[in-house]
Amino acid sequence: MVKNVLKYLRRSEGFDLTQKELGDALNLSTVTIYKIENGLGVNIATALKMAKFFNCKVEDIFSLKEENSW
């Protein structure tokens, strides 16, 4: 499972964006932003667009959530 800090970044100083504003900036729907923030998946193209928008690496936004191996 993938976890992310998108909501934190979106609300951070210097950005302070609503889901709609971020979606508009990235040409994505508000529903898509909501789903990504809630861990319901993201495709690689969208992840790359987000990293470029926030001027960071993809792995600064997204990481693998550790799961029990048993």
The pLDDT score that the predictor gives to residue 69 is 57
- Cα distances (Å, whole numbers) of residue 56 to 6, 9, 51, 66: 12, 11, 5, 22
The pLDDT score that the predictor gives to residue 65 is 80
Average pLDDT rounded to a whole number, residues 60-64: 95
The pLDDT score that the predictor gives to residue 70 is 57
| CATH numbers and ranges of domains, the chain | 2-56 (1.10.260)
DSSP string, 44-60: HHHHHHHHHHTTS-HHH
Tell me the per-residue pLDDT of 8-61, one tens digit each, with 9 for 90 and over.
999 999 999 999 999 999 999 999 999 999 999 899 999 999 999 999 999 999
Q: In a 3-state reduction of DSSP, which class is residue 34?
A: helix
**Burial letters for 27-60: b for 16+ Cβ neighbours within 10 Å, e otherwise?**
ebeeebbeebbeeeebeeebbebbbebbeeebee
| Entry pTM | 0.88
